[in-house]
Structure 1
Amino acid sequence: MPPADEPTLPEGCDYLVGVDESGYAYDTPELSIDVGQTVCWIWEDESMAHNVAQIENEGDTTRMLGGKYSGMSMTSVDFRVTFDENQTFLYICEPHATMDMVGKVIVGTGVMEVVDEPEEDSESNSVPGFTAGLSGMALAAAVIMFGGRKTEL
């Protein structure tokens, strides 16, 4: 029996992720890709609605605000992401997150580069704070209270 043909990737997709036969898992739950490649999450006419929602940490069951998001869960989805930097992209299907419908895309090294910001000298940026303001108010109060009095000798 000849080997099964590889599925044809849609144009613009380097990798394809769908829903497995159970309907409660992605068919490719973990991928390792190169920086600059595109992953496409595509399914059509599934019996249940699904989506792709980025999470911050493994085990999370709610999406990360501001993260990548395919939108509300639907029975047909075409969601594509081109990954432009080293990172580990963690995601869930929101309706089935507690059933462990999760995925991971390891991009390049899987670790984002952290650029160290030079520390600023705290003394050079000192701004008069609470003490200076309080001293100024005390001086103003003293002038108001004692400035108009005449002393007898």
Structure 2
Amino acid sequence: MARRLRPVGIGFVGTAPVRLVFDREVSAAPDQVFHALAADVPGWPLWFSAVTSARATDGGAGREIRLRGGTRFEETVLVAREPEVYAYRVDVTNAPGARALAEEWRLTPQGTGTRVRWTFAADGPAPFRFLLKLARPGLGRAFRDAVRCLDRRLATR
């Protein structure tokens, strides 16, 4: 059953009760990575294996995302500042326990490539927060694998 989450702004990324932050360097330039994140939303399943379907909504102001296992998200883009930051919040989901969710992708030039920092910010009841902290290694692995696949994909373009 889909539920509406508490609407949060970009400040939530820095203040959420649970913040999982992951970093990785890639050889692709920040503008290439930003384009893959923000402009090529339908391309997400090609590099992020957890994503089975992604599409922009409201002329790019929103997104609909489906994950393996049937989890669905309706999202609002909070920041799309090329080539530095792409962030969104989840408005509606069928994932249990969440009260608020937001994600931020921060891109920083690193030599000839990019440092990609992904922050997963969440709030929910204590058991939900505890489970998210336990899920940290798996989310970190999913992030590393996704960014590695994205970098390979961008290198072939």
Normalized against structure 1, the TM-score is what? 0.26
Structure 2 length normalisation: TM-score?
0.26
- Give the number of the structure with larger relative contact order, counting CA–CA contacts within 8 Å between residues 6 or more apart: 2
Q: Higher helix proportion, which one?
A: 2
Q: Which has the larger radius of gyration?
A: 1
* More strand per residue: 2
